[in-house]
Amino acid sequence: MTTLTQPRLRVPDLPVPCGPLSGAVVGALRRNEPPVSARESAGTADPYGRDLQLALYVLYELHYQGFTGVDEEWEWEPELLTLRRTLEKRFLSALRADAAPEADAEGTLAGLLVEPAGFDDTGVSHHLQRDGELWQFREYAALRSLYHLKEADPHAWVIPRLHGRAKAAMVAVEYDEFGAGRADEIHAGLFAELMADLGLETAYGHYLDAAPSQALATVNLMSLFGLHRSLRGALVGHFAAVEITSSPGSRRLAEALRRMGAGPAAQRFYDEHVEADAVHEQIVRREVVGGLLEAEPGLDADVAFGVTATGYLEDRLARRLLTQWHQGKSALRLPLPPG
């Protein structure tokens, strides 16, 4: 087991493809040549299916850490960017149809302030707090590692697209996420320590092949919003949804870990988020969202969409986890070895 507190020092391997779209992307990167055309498959693919989501995830990762043996120049390869745009349109169109907001940004955010938020009181954090087992928490942490080992990075892309109050507040919150100037307090590093405490591999991207489509979609949403200036309002909505629901959810997860007898490093990650995100929630609602909409009121619907799309995909993931766990089954494609 790797116990690095800086897991991104290790570049991940390319994943195993699972269909024509991910096969075209992974194959192109392995062969170091443009991809075989997959646009026809992209136009009919399940927008939430693992093939499309894995292809998108791999394409997005070229903007983060990359993959072993893949030239960094492939980040801007025109054929891959064209395919990515086709996949994004398929994914985004489905989300706009399935997760359309029913209220403006203020009303949509207000709904998150009422507990229980998200997947009602039988949600994942509620289950883990009340009667979840350690093996289930280990699975949850393995899936969340696909984001938490790069925590706050996708949201940083919005900073150059903001100004005034929104920009100042966004930078203040991100500063905390990145350790407030202390490398040992970077939240991604704290999550790696949590994983080590739970007997999990801490290498960046290690659990990609084990992740179901529902988990990939929650991570891809952040990259989709973050990489497009036209979706800056949706990215702010996503960020607000995460910060508003984080503190109560983190409290339940910290209590779950204490009940399960997990070590102090595992508990620390969520304890940190209980306090920090309670403050962040106020800053994000009043200054980031408020400042953005004061400067660009036309983005109100986009902010609301960012919130509802986040909730929709998180609910899909929760259903996957809870359905499998209630049957005594692993929610992962590849079950974890014993801790």
Here the contacts of 191-194 (C-beta below 8 Å, separation 24 or greater) are: 191/141, 191/144, 191/145, 191/148, 191/149, 191/151, 191/269, 192/4, 192/5, 192/6, 192/7, 192/149, 193/5, 193/265, 193/266, 193/268, 193/269, 194/141, 194/265, 194/266, 194/268, 194/269, 194/270
Here the contacts of 68-72 (C-beta below 8 Å, separation 24 or greater) are: 68/11, 68/12, 68/13, 68/14, 69/14, 69/30, 70/14, 70/29, 70/32, 71/32
Rounded CA-CA distance 165/106 in Å is 17
Give residue limits of the domains in the chain. Answer: 7-97, 103-326
Identity of the amino acid at 19: G
pLDDT of amino acid 38: 72
Contact criterion met (CB below 8 Å) for 33 and 76: no
Q: Is the peptide bond before 116 cis (omega within 30 degrees of 0)?
A: yes
pLDDT of amino acid 325: 97
Helices (H), the chain: 20-31, 39-44, 50-61, 78-98, 105-112, 124-130, 134-148, 153-156, 164-177, 187-197, 213-227, 232-260, 264-283, 290-295, 300-326
Kindly state the tokens that stand for 181. Answer: 């100037």
Nearest to 12, CA basis, from 159, 165, 201, 175: 201
pLDDT of amino acid 3: 43
pLDDT of amino acid 151: 94
pLDDT of amino acid 110: 93
pLDDT of amino acid 2: 42
pLDDT of amino acid 119: 43
Residues of the chain with pLDDT under 70: 1-8, 114-121, 277
Give the largest CA-CA distance in the chain.
52
Express each pLDDT in 262-313 by its tens digit: 989 888 999 988 877 677 888 999 999 999 999 999 999 999 999 999 999 9
What's the CATH superfamily of 103-326?
Answer: Heme oxygenase-like (1.20.910.10)
Rounded CA-CA distance 25/226 in Å is 21
pLDDT of amino acid 118: 43
Rounded CA-CA distance 226/235 in Å is 6
Distances in Å between the Cα of 22 and the Cα atoms of 27, 53, 90 are: 8, 8, 15
Question: What's the pTM value of the predicted model, to 2 decimals?
Answer: 0.94
pLDDT of amino acid 117: 44
